């Protein structure tokens, strides 16, 4: 018998069995002791659950660099009858991971899309000011937000919203920019971050707190496969075409740059691969 038939069948069986596992209700994961004056990192989340799906580097920033990680909930989804419920789920997911949570409005922002940016300058200006106020309030060392081709309309809107807010900040404002991907792959990521087995398990667990979403589509169970494919893709795109694949099981791809003196600047040439054994704080001196 072809052994790969069993290999595929075992993978299918594992996913089917995992569909019966508990959703939410887990005690909080261990978290580091943060200094009272610990610097802040902000994760600008287009939807509740993005903090889990694309948040592997953010989780490492909390656990290794010991920055205070605050999830900024830009929207609470487009279904108004689910928004308050999704906010409760988001609170639970952030509590599990040890993240702070800040909302942009009682039900989140609406119409955060490139279309609104083009056609409703007044509404867009109000949203820019909200994000600029959050940046000024926290003075983050690092911010996470989607890249400019992440396909989903709200993800694209959040990218432009954050960039427009940065342009409103004083000339001396600076922070590291970590662009995330999920719906649309980046053409030019420059950072491949290894995700440990424990961190991945915690991210999957946190995603299960978004009960209404994963009941509809158990996408939390596909995170390992996605992160395995990131290793394949990142080995070539970040490591260089034809380069040897890193000895990572799981990873996520990002673009790391810096905002300084009112502009985006490079922090290194080429690409970097950061294994789990190295502290992610080395990326943010």
Tell me, rounded to whole angstroms, the distance of Cα 213 from its chain centroid. Answer: 17
**For residues 104 and 48, what is the distance between their CA atoms, to the nearest angstrom?**
13
**For residues 18 and 37, what is the distance between their CA atoms, to the nearest angstrom?**
41
**pLDDT confidence of 241, banded at 50, 70, 90?**
confident
- Flag whether 23 is in a domain: no
- Strands of 136-211 (E only): list them: 142-146, 175-180, 191-194
What is the domain count for the chain? 1
**pLDDT confidence of 12, banded at 50, 70, 90?**
very high
**For residues 195 and 203, what is the distance between their CA atoms, to the nearest angstrom?**
10
- Flag whether 2 is in a domain: no
What is the model's pLDDT at position 56? 98
Which residues are within 8 A (CB) of 184 and not within 5 positions of it... i.e. 6 or more apart? 147, 149, 150, 151, 152, 155
Sign of CA dihedral 206, 208, 210, 216: positive
- Flag whether 147 is in a domain: yes
CB-neighbour burial class of residue 219 (10 A; exposed 0-12, middle 13-18, buried 19+) = middle
pLDDT at 245 over 90: no
**pLDDT confidence of 244, banded at 50, 70, 90?**
confident
- Flag whether 47 is in a domain: yes
What is the model's pLDDT at position 152? 96
- Flag whether 204 is in a domain: yes
- Flag whether 225 is in a domain: yes
Which residue segment(s) compose the domain that 92 sits in? 36-283
- Flag whether 276 is in a domain: yes
pLDDT at 239 over 90: no
**For residues 164 and 31, what is the distance between their CA atoms, to the nearest angstrom?**
33
- Flag whether 20 is in a domain: no
Per-residue model confidence as pLDDT tens digits over 183-215 = 999 999 999 999 999 999 999 999 999 999 999
- Per-residue pLDDT averaged across 25-46, rounded? 96
CATH number at residue 133: 3.40.50.10320
Per-residue model confidence as pLDDT tens digits over 142-167 = 999 999 999 999 999 999 999 999 99
For the range 262-268, what are the long-range contacts, defined as Cβ-Cβ under 8 Å and sequence gap of 24 or more?
A: 262/167, 262/169, 262/171, 264/177, 267/176, 268/190
Please tell me the pTM assigned to this model.
Answer: 0.96
């Amino acid at each position: 018998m072809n052994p790969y038939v069993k290999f595929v069948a075992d993978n299918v069986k594992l996913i089917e069995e995992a569909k019966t596992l508990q959703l939410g209700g887990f005690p909080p994961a261990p978290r580091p002791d943060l200094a009272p004056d610990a610097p802040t990192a902000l994760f600008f989340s287009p939807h509740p659950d993005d903090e889990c799906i694309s948040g592997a580097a953010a989780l490492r920033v909390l656990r290794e660099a010991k920055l205070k990680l605050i999830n900024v909930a830009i929207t609470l989804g487009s279904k108004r009858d689910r928004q308050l419920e999704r906010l409760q789920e988001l609170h639970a997911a952030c509590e599990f991971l040890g993240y702070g949570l800040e909302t942009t409005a009682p039900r989140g922002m609406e119409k955060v899309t490139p279309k609104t940016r083009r056609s409703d300058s007044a509404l867009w200006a109000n949203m820019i000011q909200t994000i600029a106020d959050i940046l000024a309030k926290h003075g983050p060392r690092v911010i996470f937000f989607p890249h400019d081709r992440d396909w989903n309309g709200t993800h694209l809107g959040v990218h432009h919203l954050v960039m427009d807010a940065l342009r409103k900040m004083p000339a001396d404002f600076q922070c590291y920019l970590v662009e995330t991907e999920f719906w649309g792959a980046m053409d030019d990521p420059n950072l491949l971050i290894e995700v440990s087995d424990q961190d991945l398990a915690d991210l999957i667990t946190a995603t299960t707190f978004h009960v209404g979403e994963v009941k509809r589509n158990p996408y939390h169970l596909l995170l390992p496969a996605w992160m395995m494919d990131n290793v394949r893709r990142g080995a070539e795109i970040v490591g260089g075409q034809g380069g040897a694949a890193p000895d990572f099981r799981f990873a996520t791809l990002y673009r790391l740059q810096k905002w300084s003196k009112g502009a985006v600047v490079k922090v290194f040439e080429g690409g970097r691969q950061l294994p789990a054994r190295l502290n992610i704080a080395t990326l943010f001196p």
